[in-house]
């Protein structure tokens, strides 16, 4: 049996980058992937457009492991090196709002095709439809698994685990690497869905499903503010979605078993409560003959104002001139603090990323080698690091993949 210098399990962005980096160091590398193609999840990123990094990468956009650990790894192959690298492969990039970087083609396939070509050029042995079932260390790493053509065995001096977390497992990340790591003695920080929508106890969002507003979101646990975000909020048949909501999911998963979790939406954040009350008072005075739902349709979508009025037991068709001060103040109160109770996060299948994973305290930040098992390296989402939406997770995969590939080559 041929012995490879490095075996890498999982051809997602972290595994591909590790393989390319190690092959450039002259190492004999095998990259094993259970899907039919490499980079299956990359194709789904950024709604098929692949938001591959962000101009404003900052450690504050990451969660899980301690910031020093994250910083050290990001700096090994930062966003400038990533953009330079992809441009050198012929993938021309463009910047969109909030520093998000995409391929100019708006197609994630441009990224995967360029990486695929690079792997071939560097003569990495890429085995697709190769599902690894067991890993075992004696003098070297021994891997066994199944291909459609039958069982296989592989021997390698070093092993890099880039099997991802558990999020969107339909793309291959079913948690195998987490299971093996735990069996090898690593601590696994409770994996839970992050960047995923939230289900609410209240059923009224279903009545306005599809409606999108821009606002600020505060997450509270037993009344205490835990986190805040700003941006698009989408009402759905199960509750809430959109970037400003999904950003809150990692905290919900951690706190929900023991605490009452509420989301407080400020639907008109640009006005203070007092300013908004004054504005609405004027609108109602000027439009006294109009039904209140129509009078307020200029400042908030009519479907939402109708729902708010019904929840407050105010007839949406009541004439504006007949709205009492108490009723007006209660409408303003809800617009500034629309409160919903969270029942659960949507499942891993709908999550973009996994919070939790292999405990970073047991991984050397300089090399990404296990502090417990020599010749074992980690990269990507398998590690207890998750980023915000906006290109931060792929940047983590490129940076950590690069560092693991380089370290395993030494
Ligand atoms: C819908 C969606 C949209 C996203 N959009 C963005 C975005 O625009 N920007 C961004 O930064 N991030 C985005 N993300 C997050 C980002 O895609 C992930 O964080 C990133 O792909 C993680 O990379 P990884 O290499 O660690 O793991 P993965 O990409 O999950 O790859 C792991 C690979 O390992 C393989 N594997 C697992 N077990 C085995 C086994 N036993 N044998 C062989 N192979 C195995 C899997 O098949 C898989 O291909 C998105 C995620 C999703 C789901």
**Per-residue confidence band for 118, with pLDDT thresholds at 50, 70 and 90:** very high
Indicate if 235 and 160 belong to the same structural domain: no
Note the pLDDT tens digit of each residue in 175-192.
999 999 999 999 999 999
| The last residue of a domain, from among 295, 318, 346 | 346
Indicate if 92 and 170 belong to the same structural domain: yes
Pocket lined around ligand 1, Cβ cut-off 6 Å: 9-15, 32-35, 40-41, 44-46, 51, 131-132, 162-164, 167-168, 172-174, 176, 352-353, 380-381, 391-394, 397
Note the pLDDT tens digit of each residue in 285-313.
999 999 999 999 999 999 999 999 999 99
Note the pLDDT tens digit of each residue in 276-287.
999 999 999 999
Kindly give the distance from the C-alpha atom of residue 403 to the centroid of ligand 1, in angstroms, as a whole number: 18
Indicate if 34 and 149 belong to the same structural domain: yes
Whether 193 shows a pLDDT value over 90: the answer reads: yes
C-alpha–C-alpha distance, residues 300 and 235, integer Å: 14
C-alpha distances in Å from residue 246, one per residue of 32, 212, 231, 232, 241 = 32, 14, 10, 10, 6
Q: What is the DSSP string of 291-347?
A: BHHHHTTTTS-HHHHHHHHHHTT--TTSBGGG--HHHHHHHHHHHH-EEEEEEEEPP
Indicate if 52 and 168 belong to the same structural domain: yes
Please tell me the residue having the least CA distance from ligand 1 atom 9.
391
ipTM: 0.99
Tell me what pLDDT residue 19 has: 99
Kindly give the distance from the C-alpha atom of residue 387 to the centroid of ligand 1, in angstroms, as a whole number: 13
C-alpha–C-alpha distance, residues 229 and 244, integer Å: 5
Answer for the pair 199, 340: CB distance below 8 angstroms, yes or no.
no
Tell me what pLDDT residue 2 has: 84
Tell me what pLDDT residue 296 has: 97
| The last residue of a domain, from among 323, 346, 369 | 346
State CA 32 to chain mean position distance.
24
C-alpha–C-alpha distance, residues 329 and 276, integer Å: 10
**CATH classification of the domain holding 364:** 3.50.50.60
Pick the closest to residue 17 from 100, 73, 97, 71 (CA basis). 73
Tell me what pLDDT residue 152 has: 96
- Residues counted in the chain: 410
Whether 66 shows a pLDDT value over 90: the answer reads: yes
Kindly give the distance from the C-alpha atom of residue 394 to the centroid of ligand 1, in angstroms, as a whole number: 9
Indicate if 331 and 398 belong to the same structural domain: no
Count the domains in the chain. Answer: 2
Please give the share of the chain, as a percent, with pLDDT higher than 70.
Answer: 100
Indicate if 263 and 370 belong to the same structural domain: no
Please give the share of the chain, as a percent, with pLDDT higher than 90.
Answer: 98
Note the pLDDT tens digit of each residue in 369-383.
999 999 999 999 999
Indicate if 209 and 333 belong to the same structural domain: yes
Supply the range of the domain harboring residue 222. Answer: 197-346
Indicate if 140 and 276 belong to the same structural domain: no
Buried b (16+ CB within 10 A) or exposed e, 111-126: bbebbbebbeebebbb
Note the pLDDT tens digit of each residue in 331-357.
999 999 999 999 999 999 999 999 999
Provide the pairing of β-strand 198-200 with 53-54: unpaired
C-alpha–C-alpha distance, residues 168 and 29, integer Å: 27
Provide the pairing of β-strand 261-266 with 338-345: antiparallel
Indicate if 382 and 335 belong to the same structural domain: no
Note the pLDDT tens digit of each residue in 22-55.
999 999 999 999 999 999 999 999 999 999 999 9
Whether 109 shows a pLDDT value over 90: the answer reads: yes
Whether 221 shows a pLDDT value over 90: the answer reads: yes
Tell me what pLDDT residue 254 has: 86
**Per-residue confidence band for 257, with pLDDT thresholds at 50, 70 and 90:** confident
Kindly give the distance from the C-alpha atom of residue 67 to the centroid of ligand 1, in angstroms, as a whole number: 22
Whether 1 shows a pLDDT value over 90: the answer reads: no
Indicate if 284 and 188 belong to the same structural domain: no
Indicate if 54 and 185 belong to the same structural domain: yes
| The last residue of a domain, from among 317, 346, 375 | 346
Indicate if 268 and 307 belong to the same structural domain: yes
């Amino acid at each position: 049996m041929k012995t490879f210098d490095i075996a890498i399990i999982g051809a997602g962005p972290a595994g591909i980058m590790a393989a390319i980096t190690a092959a450039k160091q002259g190492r004999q590398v095998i990259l094993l992937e259970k899907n039919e193609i490499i980079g299956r999840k990359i194709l789904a990123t950024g709604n098929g457009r692949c938001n591959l990094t962000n101009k404003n990468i900052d450690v504050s956009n990451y969660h899980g492991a301690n910031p020093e650990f994250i910083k050290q790894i990001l700096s090994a192959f930062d966003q400038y090196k990533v953009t330079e690298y992809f441009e050198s492969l012929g993938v021309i990039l463009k910047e969109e709002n909030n520093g998000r970087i995409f391929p100019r083609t708006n197609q994630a396939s441009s990224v995967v095709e360029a990486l695929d070509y690079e792997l071939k050029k560097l003569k990495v042995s890429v085995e697709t439809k190769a599902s690894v079932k067991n890993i075992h260390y004696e003098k070297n790493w021994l891997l066994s698994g199944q291909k459609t053509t039958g069982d296989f065995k592989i021997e390698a001096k070093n092993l890099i685990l880039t099997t991802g977390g558990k999020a969107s497992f339909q793309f291959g990340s079913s948690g195998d690497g987490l299971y093996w790591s735990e069996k090898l003695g690593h601590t696994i920080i409770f994996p839970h869905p992050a960047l995923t929508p939230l289900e609410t106890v209240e059923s009224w969002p279903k009545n306005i499903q599809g409606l999108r507003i821009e606002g600020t979101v505060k997450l509270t646990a037993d009344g205490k503010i835990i986190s805040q975000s700003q941006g698009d909020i989408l009402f759905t048949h199960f509750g809430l979605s959109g970037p400003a909501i999904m950003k809150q999911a990692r905290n919900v998963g951690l706190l929900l078993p023991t605490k009452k979790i509420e989301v407080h939406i400020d639907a008109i954040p640009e006005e203070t409560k007092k300013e908004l009350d004054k504005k609405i008072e004027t609108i109602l005075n000027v439009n006294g003959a109009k039904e209140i739902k129509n009078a307020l349709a200029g400042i908030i979508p009519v479907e939402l104002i109708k729902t708010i009025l019904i929840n407050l037991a105010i007839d949406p068709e009541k004439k504006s001139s007949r709205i009492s001060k108490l009723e007006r103040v209660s409408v303003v109160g809800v617009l500034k603090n629309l409160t919903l109770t969270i029942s659960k996060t949507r499942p891993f299948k709908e999550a973009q990323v996994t919070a939790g994973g292999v405990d970073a305290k047991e991984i050397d930040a300089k090399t990404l080698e296990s502090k417990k098992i020599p010749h074992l390296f980690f990269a990507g989402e398998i590690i207890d690091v998750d980023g915000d939406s906006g290109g931060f997770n792929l940047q983590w995969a490129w940076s950590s993949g690069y560092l693991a590939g380089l370290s395993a080559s030494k």
